[in-house]
Amino acid sequence: MAVEAARLAAATRCRDVIVLDMVRLWPLADFFVLATGTSPRQMRTVCDQIQELAQKSGGKPYSRSGYEGETWIVVDFIDVVVHLFSPDARSYYDLDNLWGDAPRAPWEPATERKD
């Protein structure tokens, strides 16, 4: 789910998308997905699409916060927590540095099919 959420965020023009492996550092989630959006509307769209992605495999968010705001949306799927930031909020909260000892999980953007 974390890798697919990262791929979806990257495919919808989010920048600096990373997946942090939290397994050994935090008992409440296995992965954090961090992404920087381009606008509040785009962040909400990405949030909606990630929720739809989870629903396809029977998942649903345990909680969601910040959806009506303009700086940070967090969606908690228990094992995966997705953080969508505005550029200023990403810099301000600096989760990349706060959880700097968390290994980055490897992932690659989805490749486009050329039919």
Residue-wise pLDDT tens digits, 11-51: 999 999 999 999 999 999 999 999 999 999 999 999 999 99
Q: Domain holding 63: CATH number?
A: 3.30.460.10
Tokens of 22: 């939290």
What pLDDT is recorded for position 113? 46
Looking at the 3D structure of the chain, how many domains does it have? 1
Domain encompassing residue 19: 2-98
| Residue 103 resides in a domain | no
Measured CA to CA in angstroms, residue 20 lies from 23, 62, 70, 81, 106 at distances of 9, 19, 23, 10, 9
| Residue 63 resides in a domain | yes
Q: Supply the pTM of this predicted model.
A: 0.92
Question: Does the structure show a pLDDT above 70 at 1?
Answer: yes
Instruction: Work out whether strand 80-85 and strand 31-36 pair parallel, antiparallel, or are unpaired.
Output: parallel
59-106 tens-digit pLDDT = 899 999 999 999 999 999 999 999 999 999 999 999 999 999 999 999
